[in-house]
């Protein structure tokens, strides 16, 4: 069985992530969507919440599994005998960052390949930070996030708003 990992922060998962993960699932026997920690980021949603969101989104797909891990991606990949890591690329900036990350991962585990999937044109401007910014300012994010988690995300922001009231 050929297993690939789609790693990320997913804070929260967007339709851009979903597009890449579904396309990756057509290329491998099994995809593990892996929630990891990027030490350079401060998260809005806890790792548990981000994992719950992903489980909700992918629960109906037989060859897509969701997991979370605290540690190096290469160590997790080795433990699951995964052969590849898949990352979506929206821009030259993404490519520059992901290329460096893939070289580091290759250095740490030479058996692990990284594949880049180009983002669909209509998802190129989409990012988790954009979703958080729009939702935080009361905008409509329904066309940016999966339907199954839209209400969960909105209720998080409504609670935030209430807790900021005097």
| Nearest distance, CB of residue 72 and ligand PNS, angstroms | 4
Which one among 4, 5, 7, 149 touches ligand PNS, defined by CB under 6 A? 7
Which one among 2, 27, 29, 38 touches ligand PNS, defined by CB under 6 A? 38
Q: What is the dihedral of CA 38, 44, 48, 50, to 10 degrees?
A: -80
Q: Which of 47, 81, 79 has the alpha carbon at shortest distance from 66?
A: 47
Which one among 4, 5, 6, 9 touches ligand PNS, defined by CB under 6 A? 9
Closer Cβ to ligand PNS, 37 or 46, answer by number: 37
Name the one range near ligand PNS by CB under 6 A: 2-10, 52-60, 139-147, 150-158.
2-10
Q: Is 73 in the site for ligand PNS (CB under 6 A)?
A: yes
Q: Is 103 in the site for ligand PNS (CB under 6 A)?
A: no
CA 135 vs CA 24, 51, 67: distances in Å: 28, 20, 26
**Which residues are within 8 A (CB) of 51 and not within 5 positions of it... i.e. 6 or more apart?**
35, 66, 67, 68
| Nearest distance, CB of residue 22 and ligand PNS, angstroms | 17
Q: What is the dihedral of CA 19, 99, 121, 16, to 10 degrees?
A: 30
Calpha distance 45→8 (Å, rounded): 13
Name the one range near ligand PNS by CB under 6 A: 5-13, 23-31, 50-58, 139-147.
5-13
Contact assessment for residue 6 and residue 21, using Cβ atoms and an 8 Å cutoff: yes
Residues that bind ligand PNS (CB under 6 A): 7-9, 36-38, 41, 72-73, 104
């Amino acid at each position: 069985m050929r297993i690939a990992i789609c790693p990320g922060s997913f804070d929260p998962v967007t339709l851009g992530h979903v597009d890449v993960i579904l396309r990756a699932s057509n290329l491998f026997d099994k995809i593990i969507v892996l929630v990891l920690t990027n030490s350079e980021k401060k998260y809005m949603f806890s790792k548990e919440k981000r994992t719950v969101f992903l489980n909700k989104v992918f629960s109906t797909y037989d060859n897509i599994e969701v997991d979370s891990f605290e540690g190096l991606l290469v160590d997790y990949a080795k433990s699951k005998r995964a052969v590849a890591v898949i990352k979506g690329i929206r821009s030259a900036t993404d490519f520059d960052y992901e290329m460096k990350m893939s070289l580091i991962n290759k250095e740490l585990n030479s058996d692990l390949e990284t594949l880049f999937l180009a983002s669909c044109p209509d998802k190129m401007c989409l990012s988790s930070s954009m979703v958080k910014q729009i939702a935080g300012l009361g905008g409509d994010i329904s066309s940016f996030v999966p339907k199954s988690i839209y209400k969960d995300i909105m209720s998080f922001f409504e609670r935030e708003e209430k807790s900021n009231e005097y």
